[in-house]
Structures are given as structure tokens and as C-alpha cells.
Amino acid sequence: MTVSGLRLGVDVGGTFTDVVAVDGEGRVVIEKVPSTPQDQSAGALAGWQALDVPAGWVAMFAHGTTVATNALLERRGGRTAVVTTEGFGDLIEIGRQDRASLYDLTRHRPPPLVPRELRFVVRERMGPGGVVVPLDAASLEVAVEAVAAAEVEAVAVCLLFGFLHAEHERQVGEALRARLPDVPVSLSCEVLPEFREYERMSTTVADAYLRPRLGSYLARLGRRSARAGLPVPLVMQSSGGVADSATAARHPARFVLSGPAGGVIGASYVARRSGHRNLLTFDMGGTSTDVAPVVAGRVQLTTESVVAGVPLRLPMVDVHTVSAGGGSVGWVDEGGALRVGPRSAGAAPGPAAYGFGGQEPTVTDANLVLGALPEGVRLGGGLVLRRDLAERALARLGDRLGLDALQAALGVVRVADTEMVRALRVISVERGLDPREFALVAFGGAGGLHACGLAEELGCRTVLVPRAAGALSALGLAISEVRRDYVRPVLHEGPTGLEAAYAALEATAYAELDAPRMERRADLRYAGQSFELTVAGATAGELEGAFHAEHQHRYGHRIDDEPVEIVNLRLVATLPGATPDLLEPEPAAAACGRREVLLEGGLVEAVVLDRARMGRGSPVEGPAVVAFPEATCLVRPGWAGVVDEVGTLVLERRR
């Protein structure tokens, strides 16, 4: 690799940490090491050390982390208080009064991040036009002292109409910071200056709740990086671009989907180089599977995400996650049905086949017993898969079901596939997208093993397996652009007001980034609607035309004579990332044997191909197993394809 301009991407997963280095000429080097759940920063640095690349060569260090996600899932954030307008203390619990599941009376909404005893109020009132009731100094002093006495680790401030008139929120924030200088304070006017009180409060509370956990993690990572001589880490945002670690520590709610976003960026880039622009990305790792749509080459974003039961109204890649990964545990429920996940064996002890003491059967164990994975294969960190241990675990599961080990393994794979197909339908059919018109991009360590089977269920006729499939999220991190998202509420402003508002946002972007590329967007709705669509456009006319077209695409109709309201203006400011060449060399003799694989229809004899020896134009015809350095692809009967000029294995369904 060349000495200068090296870009380092480190993606921490539940089981493995993937590392990719891209040099100034676009060449790519990949490593994979076991994750370190007790401290992800240790695994991140171990991954860089495995590359054996001097720190002085590294110009950029981009990181994808699940610390914020796990803190929400496990409810292990900081002890958080909220300060709000008098009479609105229970808003965070009341929410929208909708049911978690309309027809399931046993399902309940997760408890709020802030219990009632940590909700405090101040006497004040803002309205659309400004101050209605001035901020009462006595109530402010009482609230601040109550927060101090509660010994909290973070505070969220969300006052009525704070998105439009922030004066009172800033006064409350100043008082809290003066009294509690070591406690982070999140203001809704800084976190989410948008209307809708519940979503604004929920997002601001999540931001405060995550600050102690993510802040301490990033501080440890920064210290380790500095000692190693690496650059200050950049962190992947949920919106698909990286930001500096100081921003991540200050506004952690923007980084909840840090890990999955990198994979979507990497998949979109690689597929575009292969000539495919409509994609369903399928990232199957050790703990979970993340799926997302890419339409006409554009990664789809949403501002209506709910993570671990917490609404987060921030720009995020439209990812749907299910607990079905290589480490997902197979088990039998009280009714005698076979289930897979959501519990995972993780990195420690891991699947039974790892030999680290795991006793429960996982999807990885099932694929090993079925022959899709070879016995003795080496994974990241020197792990060697043992078939005998996997068979014992699956035999114990089979005993409870009246099945042998092979039948139990088939059942585990079928159940996991069903869960993943359901997830792919959520981000395609339920979004008005026809899967038959999309290519399925399979990556993650286990993605290629299941891709053809899932594509058959969905009706997809094309499967793409990139050369860096086992570490595509890390590649996405290494090539990512620096990104900042800005928003401003502008309900009912005219064209002149829009231009001035955009100009103000652009001035802020120029002050924070060096000559960024900027794209104007906005949230629009028909008058009387409750929800908006986000579209791109530079003027009011362009925005309105784009809104009509998007409404037609999303909902199947448009109302051209209905008044259109612009609710929020958005600005996306970016600095470009790397563009690796991804050139594929000439092939060598790739066949390295044959192996029996058990599928639903019975045993098939599959040719085994070494992906490292394949090259541009290498053909593949199923049944076959393609062994990538960091992943495996099972090419089912009826599928065939070729390695294209950028190294992607392009599979087509022939029958």
C-alpha cells in the first residue's frame, strides 16, 4: 500500500470487528478480529494492529460503533432528568396514546427513559408568537436544586415551543450548567428544533440519556488512538456520513445506527460500480441482520425511526433490524415450536463450533452441519470451526423436537430465513417497492450463505456479493463522506422567507466545514395532513413539484390542486470521501474440491471455489460454495453468475 492518504474504517459488530484500509490509489486491505464487548475500543485498536500498518500512514480513522444502540436496547444509559414546561411533565410517558400492538393486549410500550421522580417543571410559556408567560425565576431555582439533589448523570430540557423560541430553554440550560458544571445538558432547540412536542422531547431525552455512555467510550477510544499515534476518530452517523468524535459525544442520538449505516453506504457504492442502482441491502452479521432499500442510487433516509421503543426524529438511514445472525441461538418455546433468536451467543462464548465453551446451537452451527460451511475453516482471530461440537449442540436441540441433528439444522436455517424475509418485505413491499425490480446485495460474514434462498422467496432475480462482503460496513466507513445535517422550522413562510432561511443554514455549514457540497431539502405535506415527506429542491416550486411526485410514488395518488405546506427546511452539507478503484485481477484456477451440502430438497454435491483465486470473468454455477477470505457464499441450484470487473460476484437466477 502507499504510505500517504490511508483511510481506515473500523466496524465493531456483536461477534467480530472488521477493519478496512483504503490507500491513496484505491487499493483495499481487510482484516477481521473478535469483538471485545467489555470495551469496544480495545477491539477497534486490535483490528488496526492486525493490519500491520504504521500509524503515520493513516490520514483518517472512521469508526462505526454499537455503544449507543446497545445502551438503548439494554437500558444502560445515564441516570437522566428532564426539565419541561409546567403541566407537561408526563408528556414523555403519555406519548401518542397509541398501542404497541393493536390486537395484542399483552404488549406494552417500553417504560420511558426518565421515571416520574426525575421529571421537573418550570413556570413559563411560549406560544407561536413568542413569550406568553415569562420564565419564573423562583420555579427555575427550585427545579435546578431538585435536579442537583437527584444526583443525575445527564439532563434534558424541552420546553413548549422551544423549537421556535429558544430563549427560555437557553436560560434553563445556563442555570443547570452553572449549578452542575460536570453534568451534560441537552437542549431540544439544539438537538431537534422541530415541532411535535412528544417526538422532540423523546429525542432530546435519548440524547441526554446516551451522553454519559457514549462520551466515556469515545474518551477511551480517543486516548487509545492518541497513544497509538492514530488520528482523532471520526464516528459514523445514523444519516450515513461521519462526524468528529466531539460532535458524537455532544449529540449521541445522531449515532444510534452508526454501525448499520456504514454497511448501506458500502453496499450502495460497490453496487453502483457494478451498474446496479435499485438495491435491497442485506447485512447478516453474528448478532443481527440489517436490511435497507437503495432507490435509483440514493440511500433512503427517514426521520421517523423508533429504536428500542424510543422515537428518534433525526435523519437516519432507513434500516430495519431483526435478531437473526450467525450467532442467533436456536431454542424450543413452551409450545414446542422451534425458535431462533433474539438471544445471541455473541463473541463469547460464541457458537458451539467455536470451541470456547458454547453449548447452545446457533445458525452458524447449523450451516456447518449442513455443509455450507466447511469443517476446520478459519475465521477472524484464528478461530477454527469444529463440526463435532456443532453436531452435539444441534443433536440436543433435535432431541426436544424429535429430530436428528441434520433435521434440526435445516429447521434452524428455515426459521432464520423466514425472519429475514419478513424484514426484507418490511423495507420493500411495505414501502411500495417491488422486490422483483431490485438486486439483493448480500454482505456480512453470513449474508452470502442465505442470499440465494432469500432472493427466491422475494422474487429477486439478481444477487450481488461484493469482494469485501465480509467487511463491507468497514469499507463503507473508510470511504464515507463527512456530513452535517441542519434543520429549521418554517411553517407557512413564503418564497422570500425560504431563501433567507436556507442562506442562514448555509452560512452555518460554511462556518463548520471547509467548502462543503450542499443539498437543499424540505419536509412538505398537503394542508391538513399530519405527516410530511422529505424531498430535495432549491426553490419553493422545485420542492412542491418533487413533493407531488414523491406522494404519487409513496401512496399511489397526488392532489395537484391541494395547497402544499413546507414544514421544515433541511440542509445536508458534505465533504467527499474516498473512491477506491476496486479493480479485479485476472483469475487463477479457483476450484479446490467438492462438498456435499444438505438443502431442503436433499443432498447436493457442490463445487468449492476459492474466491481469492477467482478474478474478472470467473464463472460460477450452482450448486457451489464460494469461500471468501471473510465470508462464504452458497450458490443454490438454479443460480449462476460471474465475477465482474470491480470484483462483485453477480448471480442471476436461471430457473
Over residues 601-626, the pLDDT tens digits come to: 889 999 999 888 898 899 999 799 99
**In the 3-class helix/strand/coil scheme, how is 11-56 assigned residue by residue?**
EECCCEEEEEEECCCCCEEEEEEECCCCCHHHHHHHHHHHHCCCHH
Burial 379-395 (b: 16+ CB within 10 A, else e): bbbebebbbebbbbbbb
Residues 550 and 493 in one domain: yes
**Best-predicted range by mean pLDDT (146-150, 546-550, 587-591):** 146-150
Residues 333 and 401 in one domain: yes
Cβ–Cβ < 8 Å for 251, 387:
no
Residues 334 and 397 in one domain: yes
pTM (two decimals): 0.87
Domain-located, residue 116: no
Q: Which of 416, 442, 468 is the last residue of a domain?
A: 416
Q: Which of 541, 575, 609 is the last residue of a domain?
A: 575
Q: Give CA–CA dist 522/59, Å, rounded.
A: 35
Domain-located, residue 609: yes
* Location of C-alpha cell 436433499: 602
Phi, psi of 128 (to 5 degrees): -55, -30
Domain-located, residue 213: no
Q: Give CA–CA dist 509/502, Å, rounded.
A: 11
> What is the pairing mode between strands 338-344 and 328-332?
antiparallel
Residues 562 and 596 in one domain: no
Domain-located, residue 343: yes
Cβ–Cβ < 8 Å for 69, 259:
yes
Cβ–Cβ < 8 Å for 326, 379:
no
Cβ–Cβ < 8 Å for 62, 233:
yes
Residues 556 and 600 in one domain: no
pLDDT band, very low/low/confident/very high, at 1 (cuts 50, 70, 90): very low
Average pLDDT over the chain, rounded to an integer: 89
Within 13 A of 327's CA, how many CA atoms are on the CB side?
A: 22
Residues 6+ apart with CB under 8 A from 547: 524, 533, 535, 564
Phi, psi of 341 (to 5 degrees): 75, 180
Residues 490 and 571 in one domain: yes
Residues 386 and 351 in one domain: yes
**Best-predicted range by mean pLDDT (46-55, 143-152, 582-591):** 143-152
> What is the enclosing helix (H) or strand (E) of 155?
strand 154-158
Domain-located, residue 10: no
pLDDT at 381: 55
Residues 496 and 536 in one domain: yes
CATH number of the domain at 557, please. 3.30.1490
Residues 494 and 410 in one domain: no
pLDDT at 104: 78
Domain-located, residue 402: yes
Domain ranges, residue 362: 328-416
Q: Which of 416, 433, 458 is the last residue of a domain?
A: 416
Burial 93-119 (b: 16+ CB within 10 A, else e): eeeeeeeeeeeeeeeeeeebbbeeebb
Q: What is the DSSP string of 501-527?
A: HHHHHHHHHHHHSSS-EEEEEEEEEET
* Residue-wise pLDDT tens digits, 277-336: 999 999 998 878 899 999 999 999 988 888 888 899 999 999 988 888 888 999 998 889
Cα-based distances in Å from 168 to 134, 148, 183: 8, 19, 19
Domain-located, residue 396: yes
Task: Output Rg (C-alpha) for the chain, integer angstroms.
Answer: 26
Determine the distance from the C-alpha atom of residue 54 to the mean position of all C-alpha atoms in its chain, rounded to a whole number: 30
pLDDT at 382: 63
* Location of C-alpha cell 465493531: 12
Domain-located, residue 641: yes
* Residue-wise pLDDT tens digits, 448-505: 999 999 999 999 999 999 998 988 999 999 999 999 999 998 866 566 678 889 999 9
Residues 563 and 626 in one domain: no
Residues 597 and 570 in one domain: no
Residues 566 and 608 in one domain: no
Cell of 271: 453496487
Within 13 A of 252's CA, how many CA atoms are on the CB side?
A: 29
Number of domains in the chain: 3
Beta bridge partners of 283: 290, 443
